[in-house]
Amino acid sequence: MNTPIIYEAYAPSNIAFLKYWGKADEDLQWPANDSLSMSLSQLGTKTTAQRISASDHEVEFNDQSISRDHDHGKKIYKHLDFLGARFKLTTKLGIKTSNSFPTGCGIASSASGLAALTIASLAAWFDAPSFHALEEHKFFKKDIADLSRMGSGSAGRSLWGGFVLWEKSTSALLQKISQSFNHTHWDLCDSVALFSKEAKKVSSTEGHRLAWTSPLFPPRQAIIHERLQSLIDAIKHREMNKLGPIIEQEALEMHAVMMSAETPVYYFGHETSQFLAWIRQIRNTNHLPVYFTLDAGSNVHLIYEKKYKTKLIPLLEERMGKDSVLHDEVGIGPTLKTV
Ligand code: PMV
């Protein structure tokens, strides 16, 4: 018998500069608004897939076999079932997946995880050892992004490197994810200050629903298009003094929406708030153009140009401790190969 081919995908995590928060249609994964993110380099998920003769898929997460009802397993099996049903595939897959960052360190892994899972599974099912080979089966990056976002919305943006835009468009079927600028356009770094090592108590699925109940949600929707244009302009011209205030306002607004929802959600506490104030202080006193953004959690992403890295890192590590900071930068996007 031939040894089954193992397909290995790596997908980066991404950090949103303009946030996807709220769904216009949950079943079709249609966002309430456009979003734009930067794909990272080292922080991501590696997933291998191979066809197996078994009655169900077999999934390993960080070398541990996980079942359908395991916390980490649910989304993975659900997405494999979705892909199988969509393309009428009955062959089962053996999946092994691991994150490049320590599990439970508070970095959301669903974007990189669901993107890597989609790429590796399609590669195994269709015997496609490269993105080029996937294209021969009519899986262009935009199609793989659409399939990935069905597993986790933000995963669709992990299909490219650089800066990626997810446009809501006028209908769920017309929504579009594409790269706006590649990774060579602007050498931005992202250092993540870790404040929580636990999974968040309110899932993003629940958060997306609650967003609609906030009185701040309609005014947010009303200005988001204008904000996106300013953001694209700032990236296009590599203007940190324009990008920075937009990403800070955007992150704080998303959290204000959460905090003012009918059932309020507080994703960060006092320690994070003090840290945000500290960032603003070192920006002014040390003349360091570093700006923050946060996802649905308490960890803080610091965005800055690479030339400020040597000045920022010692200050940051002194404040946080070396083990509580992860350093990354804009990346090239996902990869696919056989192993
Ligand atoms: O992909 P989801 O459903 O986990 O939503 C992620 C939402 C944020 O990370 C908070 C923002 C974003 O645009 O990535």
206-225 per-residue burial string, b: 16 or more CB within 10 A, e: under 16:
ebbbbbbebebbeebeeebe
Concatenate the DSSP letters of all residues of 148-162 into one string: HHHH-GGGGGGGSSS
Report residue 1's pLDDT band, with 50, 70 and 90 as the boundaries: low
CB-count burial class (<10 Å; 0-12, 13-18, 19+) for 311: middle
The tokens describing 89, both together, are 């595939």
| Better-predicted residue by pLDDT, 290 or 2 | 290
Give this prediction's pTM: 0.97
Q: Hey, what long-range contacts does 261-265 have (CB within 8 A, 24 or more apart)?
A: 261/210, 261/211, 261/213, 261/214, 262/210, 262/213, 262/214, 263/210, 263/213, 265/202, 265/207, 265/210
Please provide the size of the chain in residues: 339
Q: Is pLDDT of 262 > 80?
A: yes
SS3 category, 12:
strand
- Say what the pLDDT of residue 104 is: 67
Tell whether ligand 1 has an atom less than 6 A from the beta carbon of residue 214. Answer: no
Cα–Cα distance between 60 and 62 in angstroms, integer? 6
**For range 75-80, the mean pLDDT:** 96
Tell whether ligand 1 has an atom less than 6 A from the beta carbon of residue 151. Answer: no
Tell whether ligand 1 has an atom less than 6 A from the beta carbon of residue 153. Answer: yes
Tell whether ligand 1 has an atom less than 6 A from the beta carbon of residue 189. Answer: no
CA of 153 to the centre of ligand 1 (A): 7
- Provide, for the chain, the percentages of residues in helix, strand and coil under a 3-state DSSP scheme, each rounded to the nearest 5: 40, 25, 35
Cα–Cα distance between 14 and 157 in angstroms, integer? 7
Q: What average pLDDT is seen over the chain?
A: 96
The tokens describing 74, both together, are 């649910």
- Say what the pLDDT of residue 331 is: 98
Interhelix angle 240-259/204-211, nearest 10 degrees: 90
- Say what the pLDDT of residue 115 is: 98
Asked if 133 contacts 338 with a C-beta cutoff of 8 angstroms, the reply is no
Q: What is the pLDDT of residues 108-155, one digit of tens each?
A: 779 999 999 999 999 999 999 999 999 999 999 999 999 999 999 999
Tell whether ligand 1 has an atom less than 6 A from the beta carbon of residue 20. Answer: yes
Q: How far is CA 210 from CA 15, 108, 167, 293, in A?
A: 21, 19, 22, 21
**For range 260-269, the mean pLDDT:** 95
Q: What is the pLDDT of residues 153-180, one digit of tens each?
A: 999 999 999 999 999 999 999 999 999 9
Tell whether ligand 1 has an atom less than 6 A from the beta carbon of residue 19. Answer: yes
- Say what the pLDDT of residue 3 is: 77
**For range 285-295, the mean pLDDT:** 96
**For range 89-104, the mean pLDDT:** 91
Q: Is pLDDT of 182 > 80?
A: yes
Q: What is the pLDDT of residues 59-74, one digit of tens each?
A: 999 999 999 998 888 9
CA of 199 to the centre of ligand 1 (A): 14
- Say what the pLDDT of residue 71 is: 82
- Say what the pLDDT of residue 72 is: 82
The tokens describing 260, both together, are 């003012």
- Say what the pLDDT of residue 63 is: 92
Cα–Cα distance between 119 and 121 in angstroms, integer? 6
Report residue 29's pLDDT band, with 50, 70 and 90 as the boundaries: very high
- The percent of residues above 70 in pLDDT, for the chain, comes to 98
CA of 21 to the centre of ligand 1 (A): 7
- Of the candidate ranges 81-85, 189-193, 198-202, 284-288, the one whose mean pLDDT is the lowest: 198-202
Mutational test site, ligand 1, from 17, 20, 26, 33, max ligand atoms within 8 Å of CB: 20
Radius of gyration of the chain (CA): 20
Q: What torsion, rounded to 10 degrees, do the Cα atoms 334, 97, 37, 235 define?
A: -40
Nearest residue (CA) to ligand 1, atom 7? 20
Cα–Cα distance between 87 and 73 in angstroms, integer? 21
Containing 60, the helix (H) or strand (E) segment is: strand 58-61
